[in-house]
Structure 1
């Protein structure tokens, strides 16, 4: 007999009325669509007024709400192009006119200054407001700033929108019309951000696809001024800066999103056993030269990674090398949850390539994939390597049993030779439904879905197949299919929540809504 649940005693010293009010506002803020409730509470309840305001104003996606706090003759609203509502700044802002802006500004913890904002603000609002401050602090409690102003003349005044509590900063070196990097780059050095805000924990910078050494040098100089970084996202680093961040005690997320052909590694890379990247959990790298990626991954083999994302040009040989060095991350065998290896070029399989490619049309075999089975807690796997994996249904079954916790799977698969029927069939999808009950996203790039394969899959599934309720869509692009309607009907018996099926990139080939056939439904509770 089950014992009754333990009663939770109410502690009046812990849950005073202000605490309860705060908890209610916190819950409303965290619930989608509840912002209106907070606004009503702020307007109608003296008790809730300031706590609710603090959440309503805590995160701003643009400057529009602050413009609304200015006197009505400072700005006007009008219909712009295509019927959108635009805001025009009509005159200068006097220092005596920003009291309401300062009142609400103290609640703001996150502010985004995007390149493009709707409604569009016509005028120099960022500059005019900064000038009206006259030394006063606009955002004393700001913790998170996204600085992507559309015009170069706005870019230099970042300090007016920062505060002593800033922890996360994202900067874009590009404006509304693709600014020249040289217009903004010098300010990164002139601002002396590490000296003014030494406690920064997250720094992200977008400089597009530029591999200019000047950009890498200045960004690296800035990065080396922070000792408490936990999150870093830059295009590339100098070797000295790479060694510096590898030794940071708190760095848990690193993105090098455009190394191209410029290696950030010193001639003698740091040895992984010597305590480098001690807390790294999330690694995202983009490169063009194979040696850069392999050597960089070798420096992180002692990190207990949970997320690993790699984007590179990748033939079969480099694909095997990548998988081998990934498998050497022994500290991550029980921690890795997300794995993505994406080849940035698409090879030809049974036809012309979708994107011009220089990748040799060789596939990887099951043995190449089998090495990854040591990662026992994977929940998301996305592998688009070279021409894919030449798998059969038995290989998929082995994979599914190795990764029973899978929630998301995308595999690029292919034939061993052009114009050869794929060895992978619809039976593989039935196996995945059986072995991976939590699976919710599914894509297999190339499998046999002809009538022969469909009949074999029906026989294998039986009259009462094990049903997966979570998969909403299935992507089987480039797969040979004789009767898409029959395939959709069958898959709905295996994946009872299935609504759409894709056979091409972004193209819905079948949907439950469009189907004129009666499809089975599952009315049981999850």
Structure 2
């Protein structure tokens, strides 16, 4: 059956199909039938084999079941197995053709190919079966035909494609997969400029409706002319909403992207790339380069480069901001960047929900673990209070944080909707925070929806449990201990600790559902005793939870103001 016939079958209303008399009428409603099929395909008990059996039950189930069964592929082998059995021969892993392929051999292949919506290849290697198929396609579709119909695709209804091209031949194969209806494309290539540039030029005409494009170019593909071609390509994709690229230049890419009125998601990776810029190319720059931009993800070599990019984001109303730097930045530079975030992203004060700053240098200065200059003052973080809508904050920098209970309380009181808080807990630093268990209790009061926590503590408690519990109550000025039932694990790094039993008991008062306490597993003699004591805390927590009766806390998770975009953003995806 041809692809056209397959599509007609797919979109034919099920109530007009021939069905057995015993089929319940409710299953003739397409929406209900699709819900049943989705449940079958995701079930561990049933899965694809049951879905295939449903497709054979009656014509009413056939097209909907196939549309779910064939929707996503990781390679083309399932389709190739639909080709005639007498076409291939296999000897000791080597695939050979017994005879030349004919158009009639592709009938079943084309029928099922019409149902494929996503092809996500996960390995750069391609087996002999797939290579043999692509080698035969030029003979089945002569150059004259493929030139006249340059959008000719063996997957005519493909919407999402991820392709890894480690050789020029593998890059040429992608031409047989691109379609005018393609919505998202993720290409990883190490192919030379002579092959990469023609592909980029072809992409504009073949996939003009792209909404999401990710280009990961490495090795021989990183040349100035290739990135100039990228700069010319992107503005022509007027429907683009998401763009990701590892680029060696910053000044030239932003004006090119300013021609995209619908761009919402921008991810640029400047790490480990060449220093050249496309100086011979110029693009028009609007006063507001990114009118629709909401999510940014920038990876730079230096923190100063992140600060420069903030100038381009002043007119944006961001919801997600991720900054990653590879070289070491001193505490003063980190503090200046935090201040720039607040002053330059003024329009994002009420909208920014996800903020992340990662610093992962290859090495620290030799004296970093000895000098007090490598400590960030807690007051340097006060500008972050301007982002009142924050729900997820991650600050991992190669410096110590000089934060006490009052500073933590001052910060978190500005973020009542905070869901996750992660402060850097790197090992080998001169000083960590001064946050006590009383400060944790205040954190729970300020952020009642907190569910994920990584925070260094000063848990050197020496008195009894009752005295320490009363001390916490005195700090929060309440007769009862505030409790957060959402948090099940906390990461404390190299936090100081003295009395494991008391710390475990107080932590369980604050976090009744706590199941896991994680500390940095290091072998340094200086800290080995602290590590052992945190291990005792973990054992005490596990024992408590094992003896605790089962309690239904489902009601705790019901929120009235949950957003569709509440999941943590996939940084660097």
> Does TM, normalized by the shorter one, top 0.5?
yes
Q: 1:397–1:428: 8 Å Cα contact kept in structure 2? A: yes
- Residue 336 of structure 2 is aligned to residue 321 of structure 1: yes
Counterpart of 1:523 in structure 2 is 551
- Equivalent position SS for 1:227: coil
The structural deviation recorded for 1:389 is 2.6
The question of 1:94 aligning with 2:101 is answered yes
Range 27-36 or range 288-297, more displaced: 27-36
Deviations 1:95-118 (A, max 9, x none): 332211111111111111332579
Q: Are 2:489 and 1:473 equivalent residues in the alignment?
A: yes
1:370 aligns with 2:386: no
| 1:113 equivalent in alignment to 2:121 | yes
Q: Deviations over 1:138-169 (max 9, x none)?
A: 21111111111455422212121111211211
- For residues 375 and 404 of structure 1, the distance between their equivalents in structure 2, rounded to whole angstroms, comes to 11
The match for 1:20 among 5, 13, 29 is 29
- Given that 1:53 and 1:107 are in contact with CA atoms closer than 8 Å, whether structure 2 keeps it comes out as yes
Cα RMSD of the aligned pairs, angstroms, is 4.0
CA distance in structure 2 between the aligned counterparts of 1:103 and 1:342, rounded to whole angstroms: 48
The secondary structure found in structure 1 opposite 2:187 is strand
**How many Å separate the matches in 2 of 1:73 and 1:494?**
69
Alpha-carbon distance in 1 for matches of 2:89, 2:254: 49
Q: Secondary structure at the match of 1:148?
A: strand
Higher helix content, 1 or 2: 2
Quote the offset at 1:133 in angstroms: 4.8
Deviations 1:399-426 (A, max 9, x none): 22211211111012689x9655742223
Matched residue, 2:42:
33
Paired position in structure 2 for 1:130: 137
Larger Rg, first or second structure (1 or 2): 2
Instruction: State TM-score, norm by structure 1.
Output: 0.80
**1:283 aligned residue:** 296
| Alignment size in residue pairs | 491
Q: 1:72 — aligned with what?
A: 85
Distance 1:246 1:420 in 2: 44
TM-score, scaled to structure 2: 0.74
1:70–1:101 Cα contact (<8 Å) kept:
yes
C-alpha separation between the residues in 1 aligned to 2:30 and 2:420? 39
| 1:194 and 2:208 matched | no
Gaps of 5+ in 2: 1-14, 16-24, 147-151, 474-478, 523-530, 556-573
1:331 alignment partner, one of 347, 354, 360? 347
Q: How does 1:152-191 map to 2 (within 5 A)?
A: 152-174=168-190, 181=192, 185-189=196-200, 191=201
Aligned to 1:377, the other structure's residue is in SS state coil
Shift of 1:55: 1.8
* Whole-Å separation in 2 of the counterparts to 1:430 and 1:271: 53
Give, in whole Å, the separation in 1 of the partners of 2:500 and 2:88: 57
| Greater CA drift, 449-458 or 386-395 | 449-458
- C-alpha separation between the residues in 1 aligned to 2:439 and 2:284? 42
Query: Contact (CA 8 Å) 2:269, 2:299: kept in 1 or not?
Result: yes
The 8 Å contact of residues 319 and 351 in structure 2, kept in 1 or not, is answered as yes
What secondary structure sits across from 1:298 in the alignment? helix
The question of whether the paired residues in 2 share the 8 Å contact of 1:173 and 1:184 is answered with: no
Post-superposition CA distance 1:372-394 (Å, at most 9, x none): 11111111110123414311011
Structure 2 CA distance, aligned partners of 1:460 and 1:404?
Answer: 24
Unaligned runs of 5+ in 1: 1-11, 81-86, 175-179
Report the Cα offset of residue 336 of structure 1.
0.8
Structure-2 change in CA distance of 1:404 and 1:473 (3 Å): same
- Over 3 Å counting, the alpha-carbon distance change for 1:272 and 1:432 in structure 2 is farther
Tell me, in whole angstroms, the C-alpha distance in 1 between the residues paired with 2:395 and 2:216: 26
Asked if the contact 1:285/1:309 (under 8 Å) is kept, the reply is: yes
Contact 1:334 1:377 in 2 (8 A): yes
| Deviation at residue 188 of structure 1 after TM alignment | 3.1
